[in-house]
Structure 1
């Protein structure tokens, strides 16, 4: 078969369409899964670039009437969640100072939590943060984090930390081991997921700590409050009937929601009046 000029042009056009555009020397473009560009040779002395696009349709608009967190969770992809929900650069900044008025406040301090509800940008990132502002003699009562391990870093003052890990972690006497430490400024300690732990400020000045969490919905369960939510008979049996029903009801009403004043020695040192039950 004799090759003609028209035949040569057809072969060049076919082979050019079969190759991605980024194979052409000097091209700055890159092939993707949704767009195919081709470089077509011309029969004339000048070359012409032609592109055919099969771009995906735009993502549907984010549902209305839902929180930003819910919208991100319902988005088809993380890209859609960012483009349709986290549209403002300020969506990626969390101000712990601004969060203090709405945070849980106890008698001796305040804990401000950045989780996927309060800071939607964390949704799906498996990380969160809590900042504790603990007043003089303030005591962050024993609690657990249901879904996260915590790293506590003291940034101001010092705190006395305690952690009871789980059944079977015992001391030399065979009793549950209490991992107790003094954590000074810019020192750190871990609190394992599910462990019972607490923090106490033994000084007459404020203490501040930051606490990264390994979950964007880390959760918190105050041990005393939630234990006392059990049936009175269950509580009495646990303590070998040390409490009667009336005492249990009275004690339930006296437990602080979050951070409580405690430790008599500190109260005396700082001239803080002790609260009565």
Structure 2
């Protein structure tokens, strides 16, 4: 009997000691138990929103594209830069020049004009080409282009690179496209488009870079020094003629073939 009482007393003492460690007695000052501090506060328990980063006042002076490039994460981009739903819409029709001169409009959505494209590796352009208009030969420095005609008829041409020849002649890949037909222009290839009809042509041209770049071949060729040009043309023109040619080169889109001008009753510029 004494042995059992001794064992029971020992077990009771151990249990009491364990409970004392697991749940310490209330402090003498306020009679409450204060839990150990934690590193973070649960938003579920408090109802407070999770903290979000804020945009530095210095960054607000930059363009949205620059702000995106300097943001730490894409979450910061959406929370601090592209904060409006309208930031994800680009209206090609509203950005047409509407100059009334008859010149075509090539409206580009790239990372400068549509910052939401920044770091996405894609852009696009929409072309509105009037009767007989010609998109001069050009190169896209950093992108391959797909071109899809959505209205009208369009003639496309492309010269890919040195050595691509047919029967010893430089190969010019020429196609006539109708609605919902597509062609492609490789990065660095020289290509152009021409509207042979009296109706407006509309095309959509996705690009494989948000900063695809455009190099107008004819216009920029005459940006070289006269001596270089004379060498390139076999000294068949002199300096005065070079200057004359410079003045005849249009900026981006020029009116095209004489027959089309006559058919469409469009007066040729002097």
Counterpart of 1:84 (choices 80, 87, 95) is 80
What runs of 5+ residues in structure 1 fail to find an aligned partner?
Answer: 12-33, 38-48
> What residue number does 1:128 align with?
123
Report how far residue 205 of structure 1 moved: 0.8
> What residue number does 1:170 align with?
165
What runs of 5+ residues in structure 2 fail to find an aligned partner?
Answer: 1-9, 23-38
Report how far residue 131 of structure 1 moved: 0.5
Q: Is the 8 A contact 2:97 2:105 kept in 1?
A: no
Structure-2 change in CA distance of 1:238 and 1:84 (3 Å) = same
SS at match of 2:107: strand
Spell out the pairing of 1:257-268 with structure 2 (5 A cutoff). Answer: 257-268=251-262
> What residue number does 2:114 align with?
119
> What residue number does 2:69 align with?
73
Q: Is the 8 A contact 1:155 1:209 kept in 2?
A: yes
Report how far residue 242 of structure 1 moved: 1.8
Greater helix percent: which structure? Answer: 2
Counterpart of 2:133 (choices 118, 135, 138) is 138
SS at match of 2:173: coil
| Alignment size in residue pairs | 238
How high is the TM-score relative to the length of structure 1? Answer: 0.78
Moved over 6 A (4+): 8-11, 34-37
Q: Distance in 2 between matches of 1:205 and 1:9?
A: 93
Q: Distance in 1 between matches of 2:20 and 2:238?
A: 98
> What residue number does 1:61 align with?
55
Counterpart of 1:219 (choices 213, 221, 232) is 213
Spell out the pairing of 1:1-277 with structure 2 (5 A cutoff). Answer: 4=15, 58-62=52-56, 63-101=59-97, 108-171=103-166, 173-276=167-270
Q: Distance in 1 between matches of 2:265 and 2:21?
A: 95
Structure-2 change in CA distance of 1:101 and 1:274 (3 Å) = closer
Q: Distance in 2 between matches of 1:5 and 1:122?
A: 68
Superposed CA offset, 1:228-255 (max 9, x none): 1000110111010122111111111111
- If you compute each CA radius of gyration, which structure gives the higher value, 1 or 2? 2
Structure-2 change in CA distance of 1:7 and 1:202 (3 Å) = farther
